[in-house]
Amino acid sequence: MLPEDMAPQLRETKSRILQFWMTWLQPNSPCLWEHISIVVQLCFIGILFAQLLQKVVALICKHKTKVSDQSTDNYPTRIKTGLAYKASIVCSALLLAVHMLVLFTMAHAETQCDSRVQAFSSELMQVLLWAITLIAVYKMPKAYVKFPWILRAWWLCSFLLCIICTVLHTHFSVTNQGQLGLREYADFLSLFATTCLLGISIRGRTGNILIISDGISDPLLNGKTDEYSDCKRHSSYGKATLFQLITFSWLNPLFAVGYRKALSQNDIPDVDIKDSAGFLSCSLDESLKHIKDRNGSSKPFIYKAIYLFVRKKAAMNALFAVTSAGASYVGPYLISDFVNFLSHKRTESLERGSRQSHTSGEIINYMSVDVQRITDFMWYVNTIWMLPVQISLATCVLNTNLGLGSLAALAATLAVMALNIPLTGIQKRYQVKIMEAKDSRMKATSEVLRNIKTLKLQAWDSQFLHRIEELRKLEYNWLWKSLRQSAFSAFIFWGAPTFISVITFGSCILMGIELTAGRVLSALATFRILQDPIFNLPDLLSVIAQGKVSVDRVASFLQEEEIQQNGIEYVPKDQAEFDIDIDTGRFSWDPESGNSTLEGIELKVKGGMKVAICGTVGSGKSSLLSCILGEMQKLSGTVQISGTKAYVPQTPWILTGTIRENIIFGSEYNSAKYDKATKACALTKDFELFYCGDLTEIGERGINMSGGQKQRIQIARAVYQDADIYLLDDPFSAVDAHTGSQLFKDCLMGILKDKTILFVTHQVEFLPAADLILVMQNGRIAQAGRFEELLRQNTGFEVLVGAHSQALESILTVENSGRTGNPTPEGEVNIQYNSNRESECTQHNPGQDLCQEVKGKEGKLVQDEERETGSISKDVYWSYLTIVKGGALVPIILLAQSSFQVLQVASNYWMAWACPPTSETKPKFRMNFILLVYILLAVGSSLCVLVRAILVATAGLSTSQKLFTNMLHSVLRAPMSFFDSTPTGRILNRVSTDQSVLDMEMATKLGWCAFSVIQILGTIAVMSQVAWEVFVIFIPVTAICIWYQQYYTPTARELARLSGIQIAPILHHFAESLAGAASIRAFDQEDRFMDTNLGLVDNYSRPWLHNVSAMEWLSFRLNLLSNFVFAFSLVLLVTLPEGVISPSIAGLAVTYGINLNVLQASVIWNICNAENKMISVERVLQYTNITSEAPLVIQEYRPPNNWPDTGTICFKNLQIRYAEHLPSVLKNISCTLPGRKKIGVVGRTGSGKSTLIQAIFRVVEPREGSIIIDGVDICRIGLHDLRSRLSIIPQDPAMFEGTVRGNLDPLQEYSDSDVWEALDKCQLGHLVRSKEEKLDASVVENGENWSVGQRQLFCLGRALLKRSSILVLDEATASVDSATDGVIQKIISQEFKDRTVVTIAHRIHTVIDSDLVLVLSEGRIAEYDAPAKLLEREDSFFSKLIRAYSRRSHSFNSLASQHVQSIVRF
């Protein structure tokens, strides 16, 4: 409290202030308008004089150094004047005429101003200035794109002057004369003209167009093109001046473009270099390094690093935030004085006898959801230090008005804040659970999308759909708990101002502190402003909880052990005897377990050696290459490498992009070197098949390429790098025999003949050419030597050789028997094969044939992500609002919010009306009764908030769940063609980032649109009861706000869409980089991939930064306009005649008016914000209407339970194409595959083998013809009925995270004994039994803890369990050794002896024992007969294939036979 001796001084000061206001701002001062007008006009005349002087000096200087400009002389030009330019001339002329008329009438009539000199001077200056304006506009060069700033400033000021003039003159006329005169009508006409000029000045553009005689029209509206194109090359933000930064006018060029057309990514300027991902990542690395060095810890404290990283900018933001908080409390501080001032006026008027009057997959989540939540936290960080400042200021204001009552307010405020502690803990726990559940769902979704083809072929898609739905249900439960708690928090904090005010007023009554209207209204205004931080507190706590969880998650990810950096020692070529030198090496994939994967490795490889690595499945072949690459943890020993490396993994790793980009892999393109590499890898013929050749785009994970093509592309990638050391992991498994021979001859033994090569292989026929053969067994090098040496050792190598010998013997037997048969007469060799050859591209996978489509799309299979343009469709809003219960909850929510607003206004109105205006006035009721009514109204409003919050949470989450379910069902029921052309990142982006917006934000954002409109209507209602004149300014300013919103929305909407689209490439590139991390490191391409990733982050940052900046651009302008409205309202209330208004009600109007600027801006802000968030709904809805596959079950055409019984497959005139505009892939296929027979399908790459298999499973639907299995047309039955009755072992083995049992029997249809029996038959029983968990042994994501060969054996185990009548093998044993292959073939022949087996294989011995062989070529049946019959014709395709295989094995044959003979002699 102030000392007693200072009280008189304070009263005297206040009295002087009141006298000043009464003297100068009384409307009774007849020359008020003239005083204001003359001052403003004199300022502008001074500015004009200075401008004129500057122009004269510039002209003199220009005359001295005149340079002729001939640029426009070449073509005659003319100017087409724009509408804005014409309107400015018309309005200026109209205003000049009006003021001349007024000046003329003033000579013959009395003026309101006592001084005719002042009145004439004011009007004369108006005439002079408008004459100058008209001349300036008319003489202004027509080529100007924008009006000069001085004109625009004058038009703005003239609008404000005109409003003041109109209000004052109208007031005088009505008060003194009772009617409007000529002067007032002239003022209204002037107001219309100045309003038009205000709009022109805000827009600023003339609209003039330059027309050149050669027909080229250059709109001057686009005059910023050159400037803007320069902006695109540089950062507009980085080059902005201080004024542009304050006003966000550096965004103006972008808005100009966005208003004319839908923005594209190229239209958006770059981010500033200091805001680029590269610069910021280096800065964060420096912060982390600084903390590491200071603390001596290998795992730095991430919070300290973030603090060091952002402290400077955070401190600057804090300064602005605290200043803003301080300024916001000036209004409440002055309200008490304001009411006292009005009361003082009212007292005087009463004494004079005047009248009275009363009136809001795990790594994928890190990058999308977690990083977004950390970003959200940065928006709220200022609130942390603003809260104590705001509370302190509020206490000071309350202390000034209520004395000791302010302590009660402070105690109540702190009590509300203290309540947050348990709520924050609960919310944080919920957020942890939500993120864990989201991680599980994303991991499962990512796995399903990655293996969608396998799931469809196995008819497991419904089961895995149900699995994702169960995970979503768990996530939903935690989301509901979180939102329910948030609704409860909303109830508490919306009711907090009421609670604080009740405690405060109650305490004042108990302490005997008199509650006057001024004190009550000042307190209420303080509580209303304090309401903002209290309202923001739940959001802040929620964001802090979410941010803390996300930072901890990201920190744990960043602190994971990285790959061992010192595991390999690199030695210069001239200092090393060996290219590879491993001494007593011991390595492990899981060092924490203490178990070693490889042990006792001794290996020395000289330059130019060819080292073959062989062994049974799971013996450690791929692991040996990994330890050389440094991918495994080295436990002991040394590894020395001399030279550069190139690596070809067992599972092909292909990047999305063109074939050429995959091959050159970041190196400079050299056509001679490139042609040499592609020829050696047998890719030349493949390029000829594609319309765009090597520029044809490859789909995600090479989905539109055959396995052989993918393998050869990555071999060509390695060859093109021209490395010193080549590590090839089973490079021949995915290619046919002929191509394998060509690769070995032209590539390994040809173009790479001088290179050091280590290659893993199961093709024993390539071993004799190796300089050194390593036989792996149980993680050790069991044998090492040349082929002949190993044969003589008899220590296990002969098992592999013997299996291959038997297979080769079977081929030679069939071949010889075939040749003894009758020769086929010349000219009878398969007429169909030799005729009607077509030259079109006929690849066997969907995307391969899409190469035809690229004629109009520049070779692109995966097109740019689709995005809507223009305003968001009303259907999107309608779908969102009505998808749950037909939108029945929406009107209830609106009613609850409206009731809250009405009750809140009523409670404040009651206090303002019932409390006495001054200490001397008696209250209308007892203070206890006044307080009781206030409490009842306030509690009722809080209960309405509770109802509204719960309903919003319920409706929002239910809508989100419904949209998620619809999207999930739509995506998983989509045909394979959708997945072929849609990167997984796009789908994951929708089910993670967009779904997160729907779960947590969308309903709140949309609700706030309605709530803010209801709030501002309540404020307008209060103010209109007091001073309706405020609408004179409020309506035009609202119109300007709406114009700003319409100008802002097109740009902001497209920026938000582009921002959403740019997330998917980051996720997609990151996922691809993770999958190929070993290859990237092997080729030393980490920096390039990091740079690409940073570039993609910058591509996302560009629209995101400009989007959030655009929001601030709008907020700044709306706040300026709103503050202008409030200032005008305040002046109006002060200048109203005595007794027109009750001081208490005027105080109430100001109490609400203080927030008017915030509310007016928040309405536009919330609408724009909701529209930006609605884009997530739009994107989700895009994926709820995907064209679906055929029904899973068709009740009318369900096949018998024992179907198929025999397994006969009949193709009738089958034609397959992947799109209507593409040629057929399979052409007129007509043949019958007999039931219970073994049919081999062979053909060169791209002949249509896999398409035939896809047709059987209806992965692709026939265009013509039919497929009949045991008398049932498969196109007439449901997909589930078809696929569940067939079995397939695919080329790419797929395993899912979980257990061994879950992978073999995901539908839980078989007993443990059945599973064990299947494991034993597929040679995995002993391996699974050796594990502690047995059938519950873990399978990690992608089955990475099992070798590729073991994964293929698991797939065989599934088929053995299923025991379907038809089994399809698509390169099922490509990744296993010959011995295991022989065992598997034997098992298949035994287990499926009475079943139909269709086999696609590159190993000839796999199909040589078939009953029939189907040879495909270019989508047609080339040959179809028994193997022996086909071999009878020496020029048949099958005979040529056998001969090629025989020649390749000739060297091996002779050596093997010598070995057999030596054994016999022994």
Name the residue with higher pLDDT: 1019 or 62. Answer: 1019
DSSP secondary structure of 506-550 = HHHHHHT----HHHHHHHHHHHHHHHHHHHHHHHHHHHHHHHHHH
Q: Which of 384, 432, 318 is closest to 537 using CA atoms?
A: 384
Q: Which of 338, 501, 320, 374 is closest to 1147 using CA atoms?
A: 338
State the first-to-last Cα distance of the chain, in angstroms, to the nearest integer: 117
Name the residue with higher pLDDT: 231 or 1402. Answer: 1402
Bond from prior residue into 1036 cis (ω within 30 degrees of 0): no
- pLDDT value, residue 314: 67
- pLDDT value, residue 851: 39
Name the residue with higher pLDDT: 475 or 804. Answer: 475
Q: Which of 166, 165, 204, 217 is closest to 84 using CA atoms?
A: 204
pTM over 0.85: no
- pLDDT value, residue 1073: 82
At residue 1440, does pLDDT exceed 80? no
Mean pLDDT of all residues in 896-901: 88
Instruction: Report the half-sphere exposure of 214 (CA within 13 A, side-chain side).
Output: 5
Instruction: Give 375-383 contacts, CB < 8 A, sequence gap 24+.
Output: 376/543, 376/546, 376/547, 377/543, 377/544, 377/546, 377/547, 378/310, 379/543, 380/536, 380/539, 380/540, 380/543, 380/544, 381/314, 381/317, 382/317, 382/318, 382/321, 383/533, 383/536, 383/537, 383/540
CA distance 232 to 238: 12
User: How many CB atoms are located within 10 Å of the residue 958 CB?
Assistant: 17
To 10 degrees, what angle do helices 1378-1391 and 1348-1362 make? 10
- pLDDT value, residue 367: 63
User: Of 354-368, 531-545, 787-801, 934-948, where does mean pLDDT reach its minimum?
Assistant: 354-368
What would the 3-class secondary structure string for 389-416 be?
Answer: HHHHHHHHHHHHHHCCHHHHHHHHHHHH
Radius of gyration over every alpha carbon of the chain, rounded to an integer in angstroms: 41
User: Of 215-229, 267-281, 1299-1313, 1332-1346, where does mean pLDDT reach its minimum?
Assistant: 215-229
- pLDDT value, residue 825: 34
Q: Which of 1379, 1449, 76, 70 is closest to 619 using CA atoms?
A: 1379
Mean pLDDT of all residues in 1326-1332: 86
How far is the CA of 1025 from the CAs of 37, 606, 1019, 1107, 1148, in angstroms? 31, 96, 10, 39, 10
Tell me phi and psi for residue 390, to 5 degrees. Answer: -65, -40
Residue type, 1349: G
Query: Coil, helix or strand for 1281?
Result: helix
Mean pLDDT of all residues in 267-288: 78
How far is the CA of 1253 from the CAs of 844, 1168, 1281, 1427, in angstroms? 10, 52, 17, 21
pLDDT class of 474 with cuts at 50, 70, 90? very high
pLDDT in tens, 1064-1089: 788 778 878 877 888 888 888 888 88
Instruction: Give 304-311 contacts, CB < 8 A, sequence gap 24+.
Output: 306/551, 309/283, 309/284, 310/378
Query: Coil, helix or strand for 1074?
Result: helix
pLDDT in tens, 525-565: 777 667 666 666 666 777 777 777 777 777 776 666 556 66
Q: Is 187 exposed, middle or buried (0-12, 13-18, 19+ CB in 10 A)?
A: buried
CA distance 299 to 292: 7
Mean pLDDT of all residues in 593-599: 81
* Mean pLDDT computed over every residue of the chain: 76
List helix spans (H) across 1136-1275.
Answer: 1143-1153, 1156-1182, 1249-1256
pLDDT class of 988 with cuts at 50, 70, 90? confident
Structure tokens at 545: 């909880």
Residue type, 648: V
At residue 842, does pLDDT exceed 50? no
User: How many CB atoms are located within 10 Å of the residue 979 CB?
Assistant: 22
- The kind and range of the H/E element at 78 are strand 77-80
Residues 1014 and 897 sit within 8 Å (Cβ to Cβ): yes
- pLDDT value, residue 827: 31
CA distance 650 to 639: 22
- pLDDT value, residue 126: 81
Residues 712 and 743 sit within 8 Å (Cβ to Cβ): yes
Maximal CA-CA distance, the chain: 143
User: Of 299-303, 870-874, 966-970, 1219-1223, where does mean pLDDT reach its minimum?
Assistant: 299-303
Rounded percentage of the chain residues whose pLDDT exceeds 90: 4
Mean pLDDT of all residues in 736-761: 84
At residue 776, does pLDDT exceed 90? no
